[in-house]
A and B are shown apart, each in its own frame.
Chain A
Amino acid sequence: MKVLGYTVGVTHIGDFLGGEFYSLLYLIIMSIYAIFVATKLIAHMVDNGSMAYLLATPVSRVKVVITLACVLITGILVIGFVSTVGDLLGVHWFVHHPSMNDTYFVQMNIVGALLFCVVSGYCFLFSCLVSDERTALGLSTLLTIFFYGLHMVGDLSIKFDWMNHLSLFTVFDPQSLIHGHGHFVIDSISLLVATVILFGVAIVGFRRRQLSL
């Protein structure tokens, strides 16, 4: 059950959402968005030459890259916001007496969105630092699959539990968070710090890089 996303069993609608949506579909949607948009925003534009037009204008390179980073993060936050509000409205409209705690549900969504800010951060870093679009896409996809694979195998058996400590996705345990069992504050702060560091390194790296335009 753990590998399917049901870490504490099914006691209310929140457990169902945590196991069915947030442990699989949500991760896939957010991962695809983060990988493809991060690659499109920088590496694709450098690769096809359209970045040359932006960088020849009187807009600093740092301003260009910060704007593109904001576009990426805004997308993550919008998806996170829509899924939070959509699920809450759906639960309260269609389920009679839902015993789900809305505060914990929102906290779970915040951790999920912050996790994908970190994923976007390393995808954006690859996009800023490598010389072609395909390499950036490949590295971002491989690292994301690697983290997801470690988390999945770590949940298969106690023998492989140590793998969970190496995976970024371990931070996001939807069912525990919905029950208020997670470390919401510590996890959120850690993810936020990691996001700031990754985007910071990406911005500095892009500013210093000699681009093949």
Chain B
Amino acid sequence: MRELLRARGMYRNFDGFTAVQGVSLELYEGEIVALLGPNGAGKSTTMRMLTGLLEPTQGEVSYCNYDLSHDVLEAKHQFGFVADEPMMLSALTGLEYIQFVAGLYGCSSEEILERANPLIDRFALRASIHKRATSYSHGMKQKLALIAQLAHQPKVLVADEPSVGLDPGSAAAMQDIFRAYASFGNAILLSTHLFDMAQSLATRIVMMAGGHIVADGTLTELTKSGESLHQVFMRLTGEAAMTS
């Protein structure tokens, strides 16, 4: 399988506090990787470094062999990012927002509509797609941000807690869309606090605590001792949180 994302030895310091310590991560074609960790584990900082929003104090990130610090624009063409707090640009309708975001990746209007229309229907946003995006609820904004990022067909989708604010039907639709998207040779990295979603959706689970990766494996590998995923999580992240 082809490697789509490679992060090596990432560190991030904030005024003497090290939020992320030596995190290394790879994502391959067809993978859906769930990043689990308690609050303050370093998940969001890791996500921001992976998307170029925050420069690592040390370490490197590359997408499809494009280094994020040297081949910035080529690397950014390879991924899409959905932040935990979806922010819409005022004055744009939902459809205009999708066209604007995907347009920044060089997609034509026809391509965008062809890719976005099925997702708009799947997420039940058709009735409000011509309304101002700033008037949407949190969940609707989250769905719109996902559609906008999927419309430019990134090789890697990085999503920070994408299910927050989604109703159960939309959360299920999102999981179906993610599975289908990964099956076309793309990869998805998502952070979540939901064990059910990590178990049912992810092909690999990465656990973080105290700025470190404390576990990385498939559900079967992580739970081979007979413990549930939740028990593994508590054992690994609880100990790490107390010692960090």
Contact = CB atoms under 8 A, between A and B. Distances in A.
Interface of A: 48-50, 52-60, 210-211, 213
Nearest to B105: A58
Contacts of A58: 72-74, 76-77, 104-106
8 contacts: A55-B52, A56-B76, A56-B79, A56-B81, A58-B73, A59-B73, A210-B55, A213-B48
Contact of B104 (A50, A57, A210, A213): A57
B194 interface: no
B101 interface: yes
B88 A213 contact: no
B85 interface: yes
B48 A57 contact: no
Contact of A56 (B52, B55, B88, B106): B52
Range, interface on chain B = 20 to 34
Interface string B75-89: 011011101010111
Contacts of A50: 87-89
A207 B82 CA distance: 22
A59 B100 CA distance: 12
A83 B174 CA distance: 52
Contacts of B53: 52, 55-56, 211, 213
A60 B74 CA distance: 11
Contacts of B83: 49, 52-53
A133 to B, nearest CB: 13
Contact of A60 (B73, B88, B106, B145): B73
Interface in B43-84: 48, 51-55, 72-74, 76-77, 79-81, 83
Contacts of B72: 58, 60
Contacts of B76: 56-58
Nearest to B102: A57
A59 B77 CA distance: 9
Contacts of A54: 104
The residue among A49, A55, A56, A59 with the most chain B CB atoms within 10 A of its own CB is A56
Contacts of A52: 53, 81, 83, 87
Nearest to A60: B73
A54 B88 CA distance: 11
Given A52-B53, A210-B55, A57 B101 contact: yes
Given A56-B80, A57-B104, A211-B53, 6 more contacts: A50-B87, A53-B81, A53-B101, A53-B145, A58-B76, A58-B77
Contacts of A60: 72-73
| Top 4 A-B residue pairs of the complex, sorted by shortest distance between their CB atoms | A50-B87, A58-B76, A56-B81, A57-B104
B87 A49 contact: yes
A157 to B, nearest CB: 47
A55 B54 CA distance: 10
